[in-house]
Amino acid sequence: MSDAPILEVENLQKKFGGITAVDGVSFTLETGKITGLIGPNGAGKTTTFNLISGFYKPTGGTIRFNGTDTQEIMRPSSAERSIWTGASASSIGILGIGAGRVLFGASPSVLAGGAVVGAGAGIGLYLGQGAYRNRSEGTKHSRPFQLAQQGMIRTFQITRELTEMTVLENLLLAPQGQMGENIVNAVVRRDAVAEDERQLREQTEEVIDLLELNHLRDEEAGNLSGGQRKLLELGRVLMLEPDLVLLDEPVAGVNPSLTDRIMDAITSMRDEGYSFCIVEHEMDVIMEISDRIVAMAEGKKMAEGPPEEIQENQQVLESYLGG
């Protein structure tokens, strides 16, 4: 466990048309700690999460995850870019051959020329559209899966579970780098995939036990209650081994005894070295569990500090009463 913060947010800003949802927020999340993010409704907490996890492109500011700019992490690899370039070059190249053939007849030199011109046009087209996009949308990337691969996992405030899939499947989906997710393996190396899958299932059963979802394992997630959905989202996180977990109101609608158990689970995970950032409205819960608190209001950071300090903070209390 190093002392460097796992996440540093600097001057983060997000505008939606006229609304500035997040307005120059800076804070850091310390490694191996639980940080609470609080604030009245509409303060910009969810938006901040969306920015950190890469679902939104920030209008300004930087986010560093484990010391690396998240924009850097999400940048498409050069291999990917060359695939795109190659694909457009070859497809337009084929058009070029066709055009050459139609326009000038079928001599080899014409066809070759057509191919070259077409491929050139294809590359040009691809670069051109890239440049156009950069100009109109900015050079920011939004590729959350790459952040997730680096170990940053988030849940959603309005739960997003796969409604047409069972609880079991929802959980089985989560782990990364499953062997059978490769279509070739799925067909060719069936035994290895089955073995992989068996281990996964064992792990899943543990999570299901922990969340007390046993009786629902074959229920479609769409039929769960709000609290159960929250649990399922959390379960997906537990299936992974992330460095940083962003939880957006994880226990809203969950009964108190289960809330306690979840909080226990989170604390013990923290003790194993995971880092958390939790948005929560239940003051008792968040104050108890958090090592630090960041308080937001109207898109701005209002206060930051240990829970005891924040509880005394006049501004924070006011904003909650007023909001």
Ligand X SMILES: Nc1ncnc2c1ncn2[C@@H]1O[C@H](COP(=O)(O)OP(=O)(O)O)[C@@H](O)[C@H]1O
Residues that bind ligand X (CB under 6 A): 16, 19, 21, 39, 41-47
Q: Which residues on neighbouring strands pair with residue 63, listed in sequence order?
A: 9
Of the residues 4, 19, 192, 194, which one makes contact with other proteins according to CB under 8 A: 194
The partner in contact with residue 19, picked from other proteins, ligand X, Mg ion, none with C-beta cut-offs of 5 to 8 angstroms by kind, is: ligand X
Is residue 127 within the footprint of other proteins (CB under 8 A)?
no
Cβ of residue 296: shortest distance to ligand X, in angstroms?
7
Give the one entry of ligand X, other proteins, Mg ion, none that residue 103 binds, where binding means its C-beta sits below a cut-off of 5 to 8 angstroms depending on kind: other proteins
Distant-in-sequence, close-in-space partners of 223: CB < 8 Å, separation ≥ 6: none
Residue 210 partner contact from ligand X, Mg ion, other proteins, none using kind-dependent CB cut-offs of 5 to 8 Å:
none
CA–CA separation, 112 vs 126, rounded Å? Answer: 21
Q: Using the rule CB under 8 A, which residue among 143, 261, 270, 300 binds other proteins? A: 143
- Binding at 21: pick from Mg ion, ligand X, other proteins, none (beta carbon under 5-8 Å per type): ligand X
Query: Is 131 among the residues that bind other proteins (CB under 8 A)?
Result: no
If one asks whether residue 53 binds Mg ion (CB under 5 A), the answer comes out as no
By C-beta, is 16 or 145 nearer to other proteins? 145
- Specify whether the CB–CB gap between 246 and 152 falls below 8 A: yes
Instruction: Verify binding: residue 101, other proteins, rule CB under 8 A.
Output: yes
Number of residues that bind other proteins (CB under 8 A): 57
Contact predicate 80/95, CB 8 Å: no
Alpha helices, DSSP H only, in 43-137?
45-52, 70-74, 78-104, 108-137
**Separation between Cα atoms, residue 126 and residue 82, nearest integer Å:** 11
Q: Work out whether 186 is an interface residue with other proteins (CB under 8 A).
A: yes
Q: Using CB under 8 A, which of 162, 252, 258, 265 touches other proteins?
A: 162
Handedness of CA 66, 288, 250, 272 (dihedral sign): positive
SS3 content of the chain, % helix, strand, coil (to 5): 55, 20, 30
- The DSSP string of 151-204 is TEEE--SS----TTSBHHHHHHH-SSS-GGGSHHHHHH-HHHHHHHHHHHHHHH
CA dihedral 255, 273, 38, 224 (to 10 degrees): -30
Q: Are 253 and 227 in contact (CB under 8 A)?
A: yes
Q: Draw the binding track, 22-61, toward other proteins (x: CB under 8 A; -: no contact).
A: -------------------------------x-x------
Strand ranges across the sheet with 292-297: 152-154, 244-248, 275-279, 34-38, 292-297, 300-305
Q: Which is nearer to ligand X, 158 or 184 (by Cβ)?
A: 158
Counted residue by residue, the chain has a size of 323
**Residue choice 31, 157, 204, 228 for contact with Mg ion (CB under 5 A):** 157
| Candidate residues 100, 114, 144, 250; the one interacting with other proteins per rule CB under 8 A | 144
The answer to whether 46 contacts Mg ion (rule: CB under 5 A) is: yes
Nearer to Mg ion, 161 or 249 (CB): 249
Residues that bind other proteins (CB under 8 A): 53, 55, 84, 87-88, 90-91, 98, 101-103, 106, 129, 132-133, 136, 143-149, 153-154, 156, 160-166, 168-169, 172-174, 176, 178-183, 186-187, 190, 193-194, 196-198, 218, 220, 236, 240
